Amino acid sequence: MRAKREEAQDDLRAEYDFDYSTAVRGKYCHRLLKEGANVVVLEPDVAKAFHSSAAVNQALRSLIRVARAMSREPAASVQPPRKRRALAAS
C-alpha cells in the first residue's frame, strides 16, 4: 500500500501573507485614466501581424494620414455628362 501524501505546507514568508478580504478593486483605475494610460486588447489574428506596440502605433498613424488625405480631396463632380449634338447629315 502507498502511504498518504503529506499535506502541502504553507512555506510563504510572512511578508507575502496578504489578506484579500481587505483588497480594493480598481484602486488605481481613475489615476491611470487621468494620466492617459490606455489599454487596447487586440484579437489574436491581428496581434500576429504586429511584433510590438510600436508597430501597431506606426500602422495606425499611417492609416490616420491616409484617411485625412482622402477626406481632403475634392469630391468628384456629380454633374450629368453633356449631351453631344448630333452632326447634321448632308
Q: Is 50 exposed, middle or buried (0-12, 13-18, 19+ CB in 10 A)?
A: middle
The whole-number pLDDT of residue 39 equals 79
Predicted pLDDT of residue 36: 78
Per-residue pLDDT for 90 more than 60?
A: no
Which ranges of the chain would DSSP assign to H, the alpha helix? 29-35, 44-48, 53-72
- Give the mean pLDDT of 61-84: 80
pLDDT of residue 89: 63
The three three-digit cell numbers of residue 16, written as one number: 507575502
pLDDT in tens, 13-54: 888 878 888 888 888 888 877 887 777 889 999 999 999 989
Q: What is the pLDDT of residue 49?
A: 95
